[in-house]
Structure 1
Amino acid sequence: MSRPVTVLVVDDSPTMRGLLTAALRRDPEIEVVGSAADPIEAREAIKRLNPDVITLDVEMPNMNGLEFLEKIMRLRPMPVVMVSTLTQAGAETTVAALEMGAVDAIGKPMDGTPAAVAFAELATKVKAAARARVRPRGDAPAVPPPPGDYRPDPNHVLAIGASTGGVEALLTILQGFPADCPATVITQHMPATFTKS
């Protein structure tokens, strides 16, 4: 059996830290190695525990999740799954986090939704995040130049699919498209409340 994915849970709410930890511990391929109530505690825990993945709350004291995410991506890039309320403001913040380098996002339980339902995909997202290659900000690979002999074919289309964490990758890809790019179809999975922002 391979080594479990190690996770640091960062959230200012003790209840939410407990719910996230319980949801992750249900998966035998994940080990929660610690938790932190704010980014200052999290920074020390990252140094001490060296987790594979961090779950990061958006709204916290001392420094919000976006400010901390920016520091992580600049100083020690690592996979981060954002945990946010699925309100309009939360959705906008989560999209910003994905653009800053977070790998994925998941919503917190709201309106009486059981944590088991709200966090049903959490373990899957954390394991996928552990496999992600996270690069320092501004360190994206150069887009190769298009081949010189390209001729559009009306019988073919280019299809691109991305998940919640693919915002930045899509931007990089689209910016590299030549003017004579073939017809392109893009699908991106985003929770419904994110698309309202």
Structure 2
Amino acid sequence: MPIKVLIVDDSILVQKLLKDIINSEEDMEVMAVASDPYIAREIISKEKPDIITLDIDMPKMNGLTFLKSLKKHYPIPTLIISTLTRKDSDMEIRALELGAYDVVEKPSMFTKDSFYKSKQEIIEKIRASIYIDKLREFNFSDECINYSKNSILSKNIKSEKIVVIGASTGGPEAVYKVIKNLPENYYSVIVVMHMPERFTNSYAARLNNSCKMNVKEAEDGDCLIRGRVLIAPGNHNLYVKKCEEKDKYFVIIKKDEPYKHYRPSINLTLFSLAKASGNNVTAIILTGMGDDGAEGMEILK
């Protein structure tokens, strides 16, 4: 049975693009299209979809309000497909807290390559919905918002080990659950997720308020030190290089070519770590990565 998808978006162009993308695959199909949440609710009451793709900014009722209502009566896996801007990224974070299992940017028509990348990402995340049991809520805790983290970072302590976490579909929640349990002086952590550009900065800030470790979106030249988590920026690759003089490691951020359609690519990060650090690396692949990370894990063995 193909995955039944309900598209909820007020843009006729986006509706058509998503229908073409979804219906091009044998294992999924668009069961219906709704231009606002009220129409979507009527459709759901008659026939339950396997997954909902949902825009945030819509007339009559926005996507967040719809999610709140949805979780009470119809806990259906929901994928946010939205036009992301810096001011909207907090809304996408809130959508994840309300139960959406992932966020992806609306299909880009700028170039053939960008559309293909968008198409593959949407298809991959819809396929992953079969592993999502239901619409579930989780909350970023603010318990560490006033927690002093400067004492560890100011010491600039070299990290004897480097921990790398790769995650895609369902990644924001999975990564949060791991990072929030790490102590403030834990080894240096790098997180590479298949997430949109502009989203990762807000996500890193939200994690920083919730965790004992310092969490930030990685910038070119950031050092790998104890007590710090670096989140690879969306749509950029992250490489690790060793500074021979100081016997420390730092990151290089590049918006270069995707590797096997992925950018950021966990494989490229792991390749660079294998060359720079070798046995000092612990790599973890959490969820929904497709085959990204498999080659890198083999090299690290």
**TM-score over 0.5 for the pair:** yes
Does residue 22 of the first structure (1) align with residue 27 of the second (2)? no
The offset of 1:174, in angstroms, is 3.5
Q: Distance in 2 between matches of 1:196 and 1:69?
A: 23
Match of 2:125 in 1: 125
Shift of the 38–84 alpha-carbon distance from structure 1 to 2, 3 Å rule, reads same
Give SS of 2:127's match. helix
Give SS of 1:119's match. helix
The offset of 1:5, in angstroms, is 0.7
Structure 2 gap ranges (5+): 140-158, 203-301
The offset of 1:121, in angstroms, is 1.7
Which structure is larger by alpha-carbon Rg, 1 or 2? 2
Give SS of 1:88's match. coil
Give SS of 2:53's match. strand
Q: Distance in 1 between matches of 2:58 and 2:101?
A: 19
Q: Distance in 1 between matches of 2:200 and 2:30?
A: 31
Structure 1 gap ranges (5+): 140-153
The offset of 1:178, in angstroms, is 6.5
**4+ long deviations beyond 4 Å:** 154-159, 178-182
RMSD: 2.8
Give the residue type in structure 1 aligned to 2:168.
Answer: S
The offset of 1:158, in angstroms, is 5.8
Q: Distance in 1 between matches of 2:77 and 2:41?
A: 14
- Whether the 8 Å contact between 2:101 and 2:135 is mirrored in structure 1 is no
Does residue 171 of the first structure (1) align with residue 176 of the second (2)? yes
TM-score when normalising by structure 1:
0.76
Give SS of 1:83's match. strand
Once the two structures are superposed, residues 39-65 of structure 1 have per-residue CA deviations (whole angstroms, 9 ceiling, x without a partner) of 111111112121110000111111101
- What is the 5 A alignment of 1:47-196? 47-109=45-107, 112-113=110-111, 116-117=115-116, 118-134=118-134, 136-137=136-137, 159-163=164-168, 165-175=170-180, 177=181, 179=183, 183=187, 185-189=189-193, 190-196=195-201
Which structure's relative contact order is higher, taking Cα pairs within 8 Å and 6+ residues apart?
A: 1
- Whether the 8 Å contact between 2:109 and 2:115 is mirrored in structure 1 is no
Shift of the 136–99 alpha-carbon distance from structure 1 to 2, 3 Å rule, reads closer
Match of 1:46 in 2: 44
TM-score when normalising by structure 2:
0.52
- Whether the 8 Å contact between 1:5 and 1:30 is mirrored in structure 2 is yes
The offset of 1:67, in angstroms, is 1.2
- Whether the 8 Å contact between 1:5 and 1:31 is mirrored in structure 2 is yes
The offset of 1:169, in angstroms, is 3.0
User: What percentage of residue pairs aligned between the two structures are identical?
Assistant: 37
- Whether the 8 Å contact between 2:53 and 2:78 is mirrored in structure 1 is yes
Give SS of 2:21's match. helix
Shift of the 82–113 alpha-carbon distance from structure 1 to 2, 3 Å rule, reads farther
Aligned pair count reads 180
Once the two structures are superposed, residues 129-170 of structure 1 have per-residue CA deviations (whole angstroms, 9 ceiling, x without a partner) of 22212354369xxxxxxxxxxxxxx98776543226322333
